[in-house]
Each structure stands twice: as C-alpha cells, then as structure tokens.
Amino acid sequence: MKNLRIATFNINGIRARLPNLLEWLERESPDIVCLQELKAVDKDFPAAELESVGYGAIWHGQASWNGVAILARDAQPLESRRGLPGGDDDSHSRYLEAAVHGVLVGCLYLPNGNPQPGPKFDYKLAWFERLIDYAQGLQASDHPVVLAGDYNVVPTDMDIYNPRSWLKDALLQPESRACYQRLLDQGWTDSLRHLYPDERIYTFWDYFRQHWQKNSGLRIDHLLLNPTASAYLSEAGVDAWVRNQPHPSDHAPTWIRLASRKRR
C-alpha cells in the first residue's frame, strides 16, 4: 500500500465553498477525499476545476440537498456502488463507493434526523440499519476499507463541548449512538478516537452563538477502518484552519494517514 492521506469533508455547498476547497487541496494534498452535502445537481459539479488541480472525481449530486463525491489525487476513482442496498424508494444522494489507490472507500452522508421524534428521525434510523447491514460484508474484506463521512452522530459526551444544550438533538439520541456502536462492534476502528482516546477533538462548529470562536464543537465526521486498513493507521487529525477561512463550511476536513508499512 502507498502512504495515503485520506480525508472527509462536509463542504456544505460545493459551488459556494469551491475556493475554500481548492485552497485546502493545494495546501494539504490529500490523496483521497470524501465530500458530503454537495447541494448541487450532477451537471453543476465542478469537475473541470478539480481536474485543474490534479484530482479525478466521481459524484452523486442532488439539487439543494445532500450529494456525495469521492476525489483522488492524480487518479480516477473506480466506482463500485451508488446508494446502499435496500433503498429502491430512497431518492436521497447519500452513499458513494469507489476503489482508489488500493483502498475501497465508502463516502456517506448519514441523515441528520431532526426534528425528533418524527419521520425524519425514523428515516435516519432506517438508513443507519441499511448501513450496518451492508458494512458487515465490507468489514470482513481482506482489502483495506474506509467508511468516511458525516455520520451525524456524536458518539459520546466526550465528543461535544456541552451535551446539555443538545440533549433533544437527533445527533445525541441513545438510538443514534447505539447504531454507531453497533458498527464499531462489527470490528471497525474509529480512527481519531483510536489514536486520541482521551482528547476532545471536534470536526463541526455551527454558525450560531460564536461556537467556532469559542471552540464549542462536535465530533460527527468519522473515518472507520476495517481490520485490514486499521493495521496501517499511523496519523489522524482535523484541518481546523479551513473552518476559519472566509465563508467557510461549518465542518472542517478530518483526515487519517495510512502508512506504507503495517504497525507492529
């Protein structure tokens, strides 16, 4: 395996944030990028602009909402799946999968689920069940697999600045957290938490009440690794400087590095 930097980034509107995205790509040079919340139909995806800075791409867009993409530096991702199994009546663009640089990458944008209780929360849990069912086969693969994206789940109270003001939010509900834990129990590694078990690390700061300025964040963007991939995990982090750029997304890119040699 090559030495790979793999990132996930909820871009919150790819046309509006394209300058931020291009600056980040040129500065950090990730090898593989999973994007969420494109908020653009397929014809409006900026493939030419990304190609101009060295990135091939596949994408699954949707007008005004959702949308996912996988980018690869100096390569073209080979698409292997578009949408999760069992979603014939699901019109949301939330899952895209590709083989790239020797890794199978699933890019996902899990439903937010608010307000809860209600049909949006029911949809979140149903989508999560489909992901859990499908992920079991990926976890057991002999090939390295990364499931990266905005999971819209705060796994524990350590992953949020203050859980009290979010207690009714779908991101913190016991059902949401239980689904995430069931994924981990299959044998997936939560890469950031694995390397930093005792640190408060955030990937999202909403636009209200100066949450960015006060570092009042949440960790909801995750990169899960199957056992084959986790053997190569060497680094992980958050490019928080992107959140401080003009007209930013409310998320920052979250990344891992898979080393060319397995950890002993």
- Chain centroid to Cα 88, Å, comes to 23
d(CA 79, CA 100): 9
Q: Give the closest residue to 68 by CA, choosing from 104, 47, 30, 95.
A: 95
109 part of the active site? yes
251 belongs to an annotated ligand binding site: yes
Check the CA dihedral 235-138-88-151 and report its sign: negative
142 belongs to an annotated ligand binding site: no
92 part of the active site? no
Choose the catalytic residue: 31, 150, 159, 169: 150
185 belongs to an annotated ligand binding site: no
90 belongs to an annotated ligand binding site: no
Kindly report the backbone phi and psi dihedral angles of residue 214, in degrees, each rounded to the nearest multiple of 5, phi listed first. -95, 0
185 part of the active site? no
Contact 205, 240 (CB under 8 A): no
β strands within the chain, DSSP E: 4-10, 32-36, 55-60, 68-73, 78-82, 95-100, 103-109, 145-150, 189-190, 221-225, 233-238, 254-258
97 belongs to an annotated ligand binding site: no
d(CA 213, CA 220): 19
66 belongs to an annotated ligand binding site: no
Choose the catalytic residue: 55, 95, 109, 134: 109
The owner of tokens 């046309």 is 15
**Residues forming the annotated binding site for Mg(2+)?**
10, 37, 150, 152, 250-251
Known catalytic residues are 109, 150, 251
**Residues forming the annotated binding site?**
10, 37, 150, 152, 250-251
